[in-house]
Structure 1
Amino acid sequence: MQKRFYSLDVFRGATVAFMILVNNPGSWSNLYAPLEHAPWHGCTPTDLVFPFFLFAVGNALAFVMPRLQEAGTAAFLKKAITRSLLIFLIGFFLNWSPFIRWENDHLTFKAWEYAGANGNLIGIRILGVLQRIALSYFFASLIIYFFKLRGAFVSAVVLLLGYWVLCLLLGNAADPFSMNGYFGVSVDKTILGESHMYHGEGVAFDPEGITSTLTSIVQVIFGYFVGLYIQQKGKNYDMLSHLFIAGCLLIFTGYAWDMVFPINKKIWTSSYVLYTTGLAILVLSICIFLIEFKEAKGAWSRFFDVFGKNALFIFFLSGFLPRIIALFRWVDHVDNGKKVYTSAFPWFYEHICKPISSNLKNGSLLYALCMIAFYWLIVYFMDKKKIYIKV
């Protein structure tokens, strides 16, 4: 097997760093536009993070697949099932963690389902980011292993076109690509139950739902294709120029498809897959050019590299740690006779970051940057100690 390109690790690490940035603002109400998700159709820089990570998963798969194929079908299935199940369960654990919550002034167990303040039933969300990574990796690896390269390409085309057809045939004819018209919502409600879905949109709607996972599988397959091509072609300008052209073609195709099948992260449309994969290829091409060809390595590449070496772990920690810290709270002030509680991270934002500017977006951004620095110190220390947590 050829030596792995360092630029791939930097690309993955930069994706994780940006993921931490957009997931940890000081205030969700005070964000600069590029750090917000598109309200529905469209794509912001923040909407690139997740597909870039799935693309990187596919890149990595291209380097380990030959070893899995040599080991045989039984060993491959054991590896694919075990890894996918672990990632899925870690994501589910993260959703349920820390298993206890504050209710008024006492801690209670966070039940599988419980009545909310308005009387509506609240439950533990089943799906999520890590769960989608697990499912996308699992099915993409099966397709690649059993159907080989040509079969994987055909499968990708079938999934992208088939998903478009399903949206048109099973969705609301008036607007099949709206939140209310999207056919996947009823599928999720039937299988998962409304109380176990995401409610961040104000209604039961899961952006990592069952049906939209069909196209996220393709994101991993495309990442595999690119990783395999880089291995086979090696370090030369033909490889780089072909990647650049492929990225531009996918972006153009995604934009063209957007006219009839809108680019949309929340239902992971086929046009969104092509568009974001094209951008991922262009960004990766720039990384390869700078690092492998111009050898422009340095502090910037090492900064991102350590994130990439413990990518899943630090993503999990960035979601888990704030929940644990939030349990250790104290009274910050009293408002109209009512105690207002705080904990370490919210206190840091309110008293250190927020006061720096009258523009609250600056304080929110500063907090997010501080969180990147905080988690970077953790992965930097782990790298120094050669501690790598793999799943």
Structure 2
Amino acid sequence: MNQRYYSLDVFRGATVALMIMVNNPGSWEHIYAPLDHAPWHGCTPTDLVFPFFLFAVGNAMAFVMPRMEQAGTAYFLKKVFKRTLLIFLIGLFLNWSPFLMWQNDTIVFKSWEWTDAEGIQHGIRILGVLQRIALAYCFASLIVYFFKTKGAYVFAAALLLFYWGLCFAFGDKTDPYSLQGYFGTHVDKTVLGEPHMYQGEGVAFDPEGLASIFAPIVQVIFGYLVGQYIQQKGKTYEMLSNLFVAGAVLAFTGLFWGLAFPINKKIWTSSYTIYTTGLAIFTLSTFIFLIEFKNIKGVWSRFFDVFGKNPLFIFVLSGFLPRLLALIRIPTEVSAEGKQLYTTPFGWFYEHICKNIAPDLRIGSLFYAFCMIAFYWLIVYMLDKKKIYIRV
């Protein structure tokens, strides 16, 4: 049944908007707890953003897969591999951008690897959010295309259990799911090299690493299966009620599995995939009920809708623009050691406008994030007005 689901567009757009908000606080030191990732085990609202987006990727895949199947295997493989490569390379471009950096008060080319004044080796991070999206989309598409719906269910269950087994068997026996005990870090160090990994945990550890790709693949598969089910059942209350039940069952199953295999975004555990998929289904079902069944839409849905029409472009721009503007240094003060300190245009806006609106610095940081959403919304709104949609 080929019906248009505006609610899926709004769901995807809302996910992109939330992704921009949590990635662009005024200060990482002053944010409300729900807008920060869980330190390790656990799941905050922020930890729902990425799996929701992968779920939305699967939803969209369900609507285009029939056309690709009709076009034949050669067309399908060309389309999937081309899109995978483009998204992966865009992610690598984003990590490397803007290809210049400040070093000893001089702008120099950002090399693939370099050593700082303290002798510490740095490098361009190879993996990241877009690279994970690319790989998860690629493998999920291949599984769905060649093994169909029943095979996709089997593969999904097998991958989740297989990844659990890998973590338990090859991780540190005392705590295989800890930062130090996770087996995937060794894989990433061997394949990627420490300078090309994420360093945000204080050590070389990549939350979008190679070994943790299994569960995100399943996240996309689940999104596909839900999208396919929505099309098959049509806009009926049977479809809607079954989705609500499925969402609740998966969320509780993920919580129970988390007692043995902790819910953890940074190593993307199987329980995390089940739990967040349940919440994604529940959220999407709510959107379907409000928009498709009750026709409750207007300014709020239109606001999110334009984000959903250029999701990849606006996500890349929201990551690229701050990096580019960081090349512009605005003098601020002189440190106790007599060194001149600088800020960036966005940093100046936070320090002089947002930071001063309330004594609680978290309010100013949140206000900055809202300003960033409004700024990027204006861009996608203008693109939508001109019917410009940038896709790969």
Same fold (TM over 0.5): yes
The answer to whether the Cα contact below 8 Å between 1:85 and 1:134 also exists between their aligned partners in 2 is yes
Q: Residues 182-261 of structure 1: matches in 2 within 5 Å?
A: 182-261=182-261
Larger CA deviation: 71-80 vs 328-337 = 328-337
1:316 aligned onto 2:316:
yes
1:66 deviates by 0.1
Name the CA distance, whole Å, in 2 between partners of 1:348 and 1:283.
34
Structure 1 residue 331: Cα displacement: 1.5
Q: Does 1:378 align with 2:370?
A: no
Give, in angstroms, the shift of residue 342 of structure 1: 1.8
How far apart are the structure 2 equivalents of 1:283 and 1:374?
A: 26
Deviations 1:328-358 (A, max 9, x none): 2221233343211122100000000001111
Contact 1:4/1:63, CA 8 A, preserved across alignment: no
Deviates more, 1:299-308 or 1:328-337: 328-337
Amino acid aligned to 1:109: F
Alignment partner, residue 388 of structure 2: 387
Query: For residue 20 of structure 1, what is the aligned residue in structure 2?
Result: 20
Report the CA distance between 1:12 and its aligned residue: 0.2
The yes-or-no answer on 1:369 pairing with 2:370 is yes
3-state DSSP class of the match of 2:326? helix
Q: Kindly report which structure 2 residues correspond to 1:170-185, keeping only aligned pairs within 5 A, or say none.
A: 170-185=170-185
**In the aligned structure 2, how far is the partner of 1:334 from the partner of 1:190?**
42
The 3-state SS of whatever aligns with 2:381 is helix
Q: Which residue of 2 aligns with 1:346?
A: 347
Report the Cα distance in structure 2 between the residues aligned to 1:127 and 1:46, rounded to whole angstroms: 20
Trace 1:80-99 onto structure 2 (pairs within 5 A).
80-99=80-99
Q: How does 1:4-19 map to 2 (within 5 A)?
A: 4-19=4-19
Measure the CA separation in 2 of the matches of 1:117 and 1:35: 35
- Counterpart of 2:3? 3
Contact 2:330 2:345 in 1 (8 A): no
Q: How many percent of aligned residue pairs carry the same amino acid?
A: 71
Q: What secondary structure sits across from 1:173 in the alignment? A: coil
Identify the residue that residue 42 of structure 1 maps to in structure 2.
42
Q: Give the drift of 1:383.
A: 0.3
Secondary structure at the counterpart of residue 355 of structure 2: helix
Give 1:213's aligned amino acid: I
Letter in 1 for 2:49: V
- Deviation of 1:384 after TM superposition, in Å, equals 0.2
Alignment-mate amino acid for residue 237 of structure 1: Y
The two structures have a TM-score, normalised by structure 2, of: 0.99
Map 1:115-134 → 2, pairs under 5 A: 115-134=115-134
Structure 1, gaps ≥5 residues long: none
What amino acid is aligned across from residue 344 of structure 1 in structure 2? P
Deviation at 1:117, TM superposition (A): 3.9
Give the count of matched residue pairs: 391
For residues 182 and 344 of structure 1, the distance between their equivalents in structure 2, rounded to whole angstroms, comes to 39
TM-score (normalised: structure 1): 0.99
Gaps of 5+ in 2: none
Aligned residue type for 2:315? F
Deviation at 1:99, TM superposition (A): 0.6
Paired residues of 2:121 and 2:195 also in contact (CA < 8 A): yes
3-state SS, counterpart of residue 262 of structure 2: coil
- 1:274 and 2:303 equivalent? no
Q: Letter of the aligned partner of 2:220 in structure 1?
A: V
- Contact 1:176-1:182 within 8 A present in 2 as well: yes
C-alpha deviation, 1:116, in angstroms: 2.6
CA apart distance, 1:3: 2.3
1:105: which partner in 2?
105
Alpha-carbon distance between aligned partners in 2 of 1:194 and 1:334, rounded to the nearest angstrom: 34
What's the RMSD between the two structures over aligned residues? 0.8
SS at match of 1:328: coil
In the alignment, does 2:270 pair up with 1:300? no
